[in-house]
Structure 1
Amino acid sequence: MMDLNLQQMYKMQNELDRRIESERGLENADLLDKKILALLVEIGELANETRCFKFWSSKPPSSKDVILEEYVDGVHFLLSIGLILPYEVPEHVHIPDDFEGEAVGAFLKVYESVTTFKNYRDDVNNYNQLMEDYLMIGRILGFTIEEIQDAYLSKNKVNHTRQDQGY
């Protein structure tokens, strides 16, 4: 079982979110639905880079680095969503080893988990399940905990630089 320590990532995401909200005058805005939609878009972009569903095409998937960058874009929005909610952020998330399936099934499960979370967002278990399901995609794609954390840290810096440049 892989065990991802999220505390540093939540802290960094909180700093980025507060910065964006402050600079854009959104401190009191309800951004949850927009972040949920952004997460869905990022999941689609990730699936597109893996090409796991493109049975009609012989073009190979994008490079591992491109796929990992798309993957951590989703992690950013998952963390950001978790920070909005009125319950305690989990310190660790466990990624089970016993998933029987492939990437297409994992992507469909994540979409289902996003919908369940959206409809029943008051239940912390729905958020935790969504996080676990999304992290399972990372496992299926062959990412290690270290790769996910390093890519998140790198992309977080990029996101701050983008804000510096008026993105």
Structure 2
Amino acid sequence: MQLEKLFQMQKALDTHIEDKHGLQDEDLFDRKVLALLVEIGELANETRSFKFWSVKPSSAKEVILEEFVDGVHFILSLGIECGYDREQLDLNDRQSSLDVTEQFLFVYDRIIIFQKSKSLDDYIKLFTSYLGLASLLGFTYEEIEKAYFHKNEVNYLRQQNNY
């Protein structure tokens, strides 16, 4: 995965948003953590992996991928907040022995642990666990990158249209 490029794109988007909304001097870390938790909830809702009471199928793969990429935006943004966009991150170990529901819960745990520690090690564990979820959902790095690039453009357009 082209992490350096993704971090650069995210940093530019974050700066644009902060400038537009006068947030340069605000501590946005906890709001970004909450936004990430919400986005992962939206992703879980689209997969319907936890809805044992329903026979309705999950959303289309493209919808699920777009929701997944929303989470990538906030994970990158949190890394930037902590200065980890300049680190060499080893995110290769993304296999999971958990099922999708268990992996969602694991990702939630990793977010809360990272929120409290803000450590590089916990950031890597968070990012890796999220990529493990991607693997369980059947997404490749190439699909994630392509969807990220597209959603990044959408996010700029939304800002131009006073989203």
TM-score, normalised to structure 1, is: 0.93
1:3-46 CA-to-partner distances (Å, cap 9, x unmatched) read x2311010000000000000100001000000000000000000
Alpha carbons 1:82, 1:89 under 8 Å: kept:
no
RMSD: 1.3
- Residue number in structure 1 paired with 2:10: 13
In the other structure, the counterpart of 1:99 is 96
User: 1:28-43, aligned counterparts within 5 Å?
Assistant: 28-43=25-40
CA distance in 2, matches of 1:163, 1:98: 36
Query: Structure 2 regions of 5+ residues with no counterpart?
Result: none
Change in 2 beyond 3 A, CA 1:103/1:50: same
> Would you say how many aligned residue pairs link Structure 1 and Structure 2?
163
Change in CA separation of 1:158 and 1:94 when aligned onto 2, cut-off 3 Å: same
**Are the equivalent residues in 2 in contact too, given 1:95–1:136 (CA < 8 A)?**
no
Q: 1:118, CA displacement in angstroms?
A: 1.1
> What corresponds to 1:132 in structure 2?
128
For structure 1, the 5+ residue unaligned runs are: none
Runs of at least 4 residues off by over 4 Å: none
Q: How does 1:60-139 map to 2 (within 5 A)?
A: 60-87=57-84, 89-96=86-93, 98-121=95-118, 123-139=119-135
What amino acid does structure 2 have at the position aligned with 1:26?
A: L
Which of the pair is proportionally richer in strand? 1
Contact kept in structure 1, 2:95 and 2:135, CA below 8 Å: no
Q: Which amino acid aligns with 1:154?
A: H
CA change 1:98–1:13 in 2 (3 A) is closer
Structure 1 CA distance for aligned equivalents of residues 9 and 79 of structure 2: 13
Q: Deviations over 1:63-114 (max 9, x none)?
A: 0000000000000000011001044544444243642121011101000001
* Aligned CA distance change for structure 1 residues 87 and 77 (closer, same or farther; 3 Å): closer
Task: Tell whether the 8 Å contact from 1:5 to 1:93 is kept in structure 2 after alignment.
Answer: no
Match of 1:48 in 2: 45
Amino acid at match of 2:61: K
Q: Is the 8 A contact 1:102 1:140 kept in 2?
A: yes
